[in-house]
Amino acid sequence: MPATTTTARSPHMTVTGATLVIAAPAPAPLPPRARLRTGPRGPYGRLFALPGTRAFTAGNLLARLPMGMFGVSAVMMIAGQRGSYALAGAVTATGLAATALVAPWTARLVDRHGQARIALPATLIAVLGSLSLIVCVRTGAPAWTLFASYAATATTPNIGGLSRARWTHLLRGSPAAHHTAMSFEQAADELSFMLGPVLAALLCTSVFPEAGTLTGAALLLTGMLLFVSQRSTEPPVTAAPRLGSPLRALAPLLLLFTSLGLLFGSLEVSSIAHLEQRGLGAASGLVLALQAAGSCAAGLLYGTLRPRSLRVCVAVLAATAALPWAAANSGSLPALCAALLLAGMATAPTMVTAMSRVHALTPEGRLNEGMTLAVTAIFAGIAAGSACAGLAVDHAGPATAYLLPAAAALAALATAATAATGRAKNHI
């Protein structure tokens, strides 16, 4: 009699001839925390061993680079075509004000309806605004069209917040890995604001005046398409009631972020004015890049270390914020470079720790909105710090203007104690 084969009811048991074969069930996929323990060595290696993280990070980096390009590109394009830096500055300032109003609403929609459903349409509107700005500048359209076009770019989603929300979703229950992810995101922020302006200036001067804005729009759209296509890592939309206001929960922290923005804005303007006074204006971009480079390197290093308290981080930042003033009064360019590098290195740990507090204090289901409020507070502080530093430079000189970043750091230290003692409503 030929051998016969029958299949039993169990999908893991078969009878072949006279031999009983029991197939082992397929192993269940490891949860993220287990995969982090069994992955490659090194905190960043384990982080990017998680499925889908490399792909959404690639899209995140592509979409984030234009954040450091758009402002510089718009100023160079408008000033080059219209011959007015006053008009260029007013247009970019209007865009910043529009972003402060629109960005929290965009983030709220993301929390309610999901990243893919909201981020991509919002990005398309922003890209159309950039293209409209190019056309209006190129064709000599009335000035009001420039303001309207650039204001439309305010719908650009907070890509850093979207990425941080994905890490928070993937790494719940793994606080050490979450700290590493937040440190990486801060380093990515610094990298975009270090490379973005340099790339924008190179494109606008070496190719054609509109090249910076056009390239930025293309990178933003391409990166966002890649980012939102990674649906497996997208945080689910919570069905829980959205109780509590992020604005109320984050009030002390928002004061801290505003103070940090004051520091960043006043330090940048004071440094540019100081270098121009010494006839080194052409080197200002490279000198300022040291601050961003220091923050980027410190952010990556901080991700491998145990996190510190917010007050300790801000205290270190306050100590280093006084170094540029001392270096400027010494008249030594190497000393100023070293001071900016050290100040930058103290920035990343402060931002990482403060953003972790945002995660802990933001009500459930409103994380993107909470992080966008923090970024908006920073932008508001940068705008105010830049304006105050400009006035200080005109009336007291660049060296004296360096006192403003030191004062802003002390204000941040004063608010850090309140911000660090807030009661957390969510925990990583």
Write the pLDDT tens digit of every residue in 230-265.
988 898 887 555 566 777 778 888 999 999 989 988
Write the pLDDT tens digit of every residue in 1-18.
444 444 344 444 444 444
Domain boundary among 237, 265, 283: 237
Pair (316, 398) in one structural domain: yes
For the ranges 105-119, 271-285, 378-392, the one whose mean pLDDT is highest: 105-119
What is the residue-wise DSSP string for 77-139? HHHHHH--HHHHHHHHHHHHHHHHHHHHHHHHHHHHH-HHHHHHHHHHHHHHHHHHHHHHHHH
- CA distances for 50 relative to 155, 177, 181, 337, angstroms: 30, 11, 12, 39
Pair (259, 233) in one structural domain: no
Token pair, residue 72, equals 């510089």
| 20 part of a folded domain | no
| 36 part of a folded domain | no
Average pLDDT estimate for 82-102: 82
Q: Domain range for residue 150?
A: 52-237
Write the pLDDT tens digit of every residue in 46-59.
888 889 899 999 99
Average pLDDT estimate for 20-41: 47
Pair (86, 152) in one structural domain: yes
| 35 part of a folded domain | no
Domain boundary among 188, 217, 237: 237
| 1 part of a folded domain | no
What is the residue-wise DSSP string for 346-395? HHHHHHHHHHHHHHHHSPTT-HHHHHHHHHHHHHHHHHHHHHHHHHHHHH
Q: The whole model's pTM is what?
A: 0.76
What is the number of structural domains in the chain? 2
| 2 part of a folded domain | no
Write the pLDDT tens digit of every residue in 109-144.
998 888 989 999 999 999 999 999 999 999 989 989
Pair (164, 291) in one structural domain: no
Coil, helix or strand at residue 166: helix
Average pLDDT, the chain: 82
Look up residue 9 and give its DSSP letter.
Answer: S
Pair (282, 156) in one structural domain: no
CATH classification at residue 296: 1.20.1250.20
- According to the model, what pLDDT value does residue 406 have? 94
Pair (214, 76) in one structural domain: yes
Pair (226, 300) in one structural domain: no
Pair (223, 346) in one structural domain: no
| 41 part of a folded domain | no
Pair (298, 336) in one structural domain: yes
- According to the model, what pLDDT value does residue 42 have? 84
Domain boundary among 186, 205, 237: 237
Pair (282, 408) in one structural domain: yes
Pair (89, 214) in one structural domain: yes
| 9 part of a folded domain | no
| 399 part of a folded domain | yes
Pair (147, 222) in one structural domain: yes
